[in-house]
Amino acid sequence: MYTQKKPIDNTHIVREKDRQRNRELLAVLFLGVPIGLFLLLFTWQNLEVIRLGREATRLQQQLKNTEAVHKQLESERDRLTSFETVGHQAATLGFEAADPKTIVMVENRAEGRGLRAEGPPAQAVSSPSSLSRGPAPGGR
């Protein structure tokens, strides 16, 4: 009742190349690869658009912040260079108003530097810092 199966030896069988299957594979590759590359390029392009949009938004926010800081610094500069503030600081440091007749105007000329005196010449002074200060302590 029991039969024994004889092992099948297929080593001598040579398989033919399936030309129809190869044609189908090439057709799928020739159609699928360009479509896949197009989809990959399309996805990459959309991701770049999203990334650049975020970058543009970030740069606009940074520009807005920089303009706000610039405006704040300009107002602070205007406040610090106003006549009232400078006059108050000069008075605090002991500076006095200079006589308009003793002011010497220095200007750059095309051929070099030159001095132009307004009013009669002032007395010789030993240091430039004492030009507009009051009398030196312990001195003349």
Residue linked to tokens 């590359």: 37
Q: Does residue 29 have a pLDDT over 90?
A: yes
**Two tokens at 65?**
């912040």
Task: Please give the single-letter amino acid code of residue 35.
Answer: I
Q: Which two tokens stand for residue 82?
A: 């106003």
Q: What is the DSSP letter of 138?
A: T
Share of the chain above pLDDT 70, in %: 77
pLDDT at residue 107 in the model: 84
CA distance 96 to 43: 73
Token reading at 93: 């440091």
Q: Predicted confidence band at 119 (pLDDT cuts at 50, 70, 90)?
A: low
pLDDT at 127 over 90: no
* Distance of alpha carbon 87 from alpha carbon 112, whole angstroms: 33
* Residue that is written with structure tokens 């503030």 in the block: 85
Residue 112 bridge partners (DSSP) = 109
Q: Which residue do the tokens 């200079």 mark?
A: 98
When pLDDT is cut at 50, 70 and 90, the band that residue 120 belongs to is low
Choose the weakest-confidence range: 25-39, 60-74, 125-139: 125-139
pLDDT in tens, 33-87: 999 999 999 999 999 999 999 999 999 999 999 999 999 999 999 999 999 999 8
pLDDT at 34: 95
Distance CA 42, CA 49 (A): 11
